[in-house]
Structure 1
Amino acid sequence: MTEAATTIRLAAAVKFKWQKDDKTYDYFIPEGLELAPGDKVLVETKRGETEVEVVEIKTDSERAEKEILRRADPKPEQPAPNGDWNF
């Protein structure tokens, strides 16, 4: 008898901008996407895509049903001070 391999699926607990409480929602993290608390990502909701903040990375979640769509566009980098570009 062989034991079926279990796949660990990472999930991110996210918080919506408008939330005033500590409630979070879990979304699965797509394979290959590396995230950390504080990162901004886009998720699908009943009202369309919205940007949320990752507050925790979990090794599994029984509450997650949807997958994170993608990382939110990063803010433009500031030019190096005094023209020091370090090429």
Structure 2
Amino acid sequence: MDEDDHTISNGNEEEFEGKRKRKPPKKAAKLQKFTEVETEEIKTYFSEYLKSGICPQKQQVEDAKQKSCEKNGQIWKRSNDKIIKKISAMNHKKK
């Protein structure tokens, strides 16, 4: 009995002749904490949302980012979902 006799062959040996290519590992996203300046800016622009305990919608965040850009602020550099997430976390900390 040869060594090759115990393997099952279905004619698709050509597919597996070379090595399989591995996908490169994905790079982890760097977490960037909100600075004190950004946190204070969020408190000023979103004070009514922090008092009521609700999160702003995308349009309200866009408006606040526009004001921040005009006044040389910092939060206009952040994405909308990160700002909303920060406000939600600040609301949860109050409870």
TM-score class normalised by the smaller sequence: under 0.3
Structure 2 length-normalised TM: 0.20
Higher relative contact order (CA 8 A, sep 6+): 1
Structure of larger gyration radius: 2
Bigger strand share: 1
More helix by share: 2
